[in-house]
A and B are shown apart, each in its own frame.
Chain A
């Protein structure tokens, strides 16, 4: 009985989940033992596994498969080998190429083998072997190991019963030949055990809870629990690419919500309470909600509607809130981007063996919805196609490198031409935007539809149509790699969008400067400003951006609906969602929000509402969703950076004449802060005098620099360690490969390949 127990233990100790060195080595050990302990071991000097192939082959000629199997039965005798194994494992790890068992060691081994098997349980060698196993580098998680450890503790004797043995024997006999290779997969199935059976109700609950927690911790998880179920469902049906898009959308929505809440609490509500509603001269019309004119234009929706109110420093709040929010957004984006490093996609692609992983390990057996299954199927076939394309692209890139100069010149000329065309697009859109902005009259009275919406529509058109044209540019460029092509397109569209926003702002600032709108017509201190609202530059910009966000959403929806219907009825197929374009669109909108929130505090609210979106066909290109999310976030970060520049310029350089600053004599919005500091009293004043002291500032700056330097050094160290570990892993893998080949040689198979690599081992 104890013998059987040891068998399991032994089996168990060397049959952990991965094909690792341990398994290889244990197999080697069994093989060795196969030659030693039975009668066939008749004083033949065993030099080791690899160095003398003629010997081993000779030996193995006598050992049939039955004998090998018999050995597996007699495994208790193998236990002392564990010590040798442990040593050989270490040797293997440290110096990969010399596995030689000295005759002395073989003798020790034999001495062990003659001891009573019962005592082996307590021999330190076994523990040494276990320690050795624990020390081995092991890819993947430790979860499986822990569970199988638990299994190992149970007695096999309890499993001895009629049914179970019948069951087992049935399972054990499916691949006899594989078993002969000491794979003992079915043996491991025997050793598997039901840990949960012995547990009482509470223990079971506790165990399941722990397991659940462990799974939850190790598995992909959702940091934001809102709508996670819907997103999961989307992922199940449409793949992880789209799911990551929605994750991003949710993230954006939450950011907008945060901005909105802060704005509502600190800026909008105080104003809305104290607002002089009698100052609104126009009557309310519903369409004003969209064009931002009339009564809506005179209300606290826009910059011009704000004024200084008693008891609350509106001027201060109005500059501190956007500055604080933009800083906060920077931190949030950087944190989120750093977090999304792990891969989360449905179909995992490993760089070392992409095809094997896709085909053999990516099917999700838990899917039971037909559409989900269809989607995973198409996802997998696309992943395979991508992998083929990637494979081919690698070849093509080599080809291009070796191509003659004529071919090269042609390709590069085409690419230059494509960039030139892109520049033409940008120039054209600049011209269109400036024309529209500078020609437009800034009075809401008597404006017709075209004049009200011209800039907005032009911008929407530019953003709707030009990306499609830019995408076509790829056709003439002949990028060998589809990813490069997609990245170039992304870059172009992204830059186009940022540049159009810049053009728009530049146009507005120019316009407001040109027409000398800052003429001091404000006599009163409060809402008399509403009379001149239409002349207030901040309001003008605010209105435009407000319209832009709203109309952009509407136009986008209409355009998409039209395109979908058109494709559906014309070609009888659904239009494919272009994920990257959608993301860029969202990012662009977010840029508008950031720039617009200072001029119209209602913009974030509108954007948060308009983030609730639509559907069409899921994209067919597979994406690694982790790369996806961080890509989205980096786009967003870049946008925030580019938007912060004009905003900072506006905050510091722009001379305010209306809105919250109408009553004050500030040169810029930031003067509100400096005024506040100079006017502050008591401890606050002392605090500022310390903080703004140059010596103190210098100290802080120095500290920060030191900190950055320290972090850099640490990062470099970590990088070096990672590089070393990778190298070691690579070495281990190669050793494993050689061991495997050597084993196969010994098994009398793979002669062709075995011999040369056997030589390389010596």
Chain B
């Protein structure tokens, strides 16, 4: 893995994501949305009914996370990534709407990778299990949709130097495949 260290500010326009390659360490600044299983199901059901989504996804990043509750004085509780493949079947319609980044952990299905290439998007991994550490880079958190879902509600987070690695870039290069091969015996 011979990636570069890069800093990006959201929104993640199609122009900006062209410069992000699998292996790059990226520090994100700006606004990102949270969303995991239940929120994705609602977003897709909303689209199926022909209704408008509660958030505009164009050039946005969704972070697959269900944070722990904040202690008094905290902005957010521990907030590491959840496993991404569970969102695979619910991702293509969001890519079509212009979603340009996803943050999670673990493999993605072929149809998602093809969609990322077609519509232009990158998949970042945050360190799974490092929820206490990651929470430090989240500076604001506000529920913007589906409050009744509790930890699964959609939040708008303001982040600073939020650390991620580009695992699958918009050309389909996949770090999980290439790096594993390197260390296989």
Chains A and B come from one and the same complex: no
Interface set of B (CB-CB < 8 Å, partner A)? none
Query: CB within 8 Å of B: which residues of A?
Result: none
